Amino acid sequence: MDQQSRDSWIKKEINQLEGHISAREHNLKREQEDTVRLRRENSERDNVIKQCRREREAHKSKWEEKNDALLKMKREKDEIANQQNEHWRVQTKLQGDKSQLADDMRNKESKLQGTIGRSTLDGINALKRVRARFEQQGKQRLVEGYLGSLIDCFETDQVNTNALASLRALSFVSRKQLIRIFEI
């Protein structure tokens, strides 16, 4: 190999190496630009992520406030439901008591009807109907003070009821019959 072929080969090799170097420099420059661009994009993404985290924290505190308010409202709802249940129990008890009192009243009226004569009973029932009619028509002032028959106003045992009925019937009973009644 002579000097000239060797020089040309070296030049060729140098040219190839310079081409490789320039390609590598170009690739390096492109990669550096890409790195700068990626760093800028990453920085922008980091800023967006930070902003999202701040917003998430703000929303999280609002969610916690809403959850606390919801729990408070649920507790209040439960308390109101418990109060309502208690009122229903009281109402049911009162209705039962009312029914019991109405039954007692009917029983006492039945006993009273057994001791009163038919004409007196018809008169009392007529007065009750008149009073009920006036109350329906809103004319209560016309019957104010009327409470019913005297025996309706008092609660008595059977002995006193019989004695009252006996005294009421005095005008129809002779003295001998009255003595016999009280002896019994």
Q: What is the mean pLDDT of each run of 10 residues along the chain (184 residues)?
A: 83 90 92 94 95 92 93 96 95 94 83 70 74 74 54 56 54 49 50
Residue 60 belongs to a domain: no
> What was the pLDDT predicted at 157?
60
> What was the pLDDT predicted at 178?
47
Residues 6+ apart with CB under 8 A from 178: 166, 170
Same domain, 114 and 140: yes
Same domain, 137 and 169: no
Among 172, 126, 181, 166, CA closest to 149: 126
Q: Which helix (H) or strand (E) holds 4?
A: helix 3-115
Residues 6+ apart with CB under 8 A from 26: none
Residue 121 belongs to a domain: yes
Same domain, 159 and 182: yes
Same domain, 137 and 161: no
Same domain, 20 and 47: yes
> What was the pLDDT predicted at 126?
76
8-state DSSP, 16: H
Residue 93 belongs to a domain: no
Residue 59 belongs to a domain: no
Residue 62 belongs to a domain: no
The pair of structure tokens assigned to 25 is: 């420099």
Number of domains in the chain: 3
Residue 138 belongs to a domain: yes
Same domain, 166 and 136: no
Task: Tell me the whole-structure pTM to 2 decimals.
Answer: 0.38
Residue 184 belongs to a domain: yes
Q: Whole-angstrom Cα distance, residue 141 to residue 134?
A: 9
Note down the domain range covering 169: 154-184
Same domain, 22 and 44: yes
126: Cα within 13 Å, side-chain hemisphere:
6
Same domain, 158 and 145: no
> What was the pLDDT predicted at 171?
46
Same domain, 142 and 164: no
Decide: helix, strand or coil at residue 40: helix
141: Cα within 13 Å, side-chain hemisphere:
0
> What was the pLDDT predicted at 1?
60
> What was the pLDDT predicted at 173?
47
Same domain, 125 and 161: no
Does the CA dihedral 83-87-90-92 come out positive or negative?
A: negative
Same domain, 144 and 162: no
> What was the pLDDT predicted at 159?
59
Residue 90 belongs to a domain: no
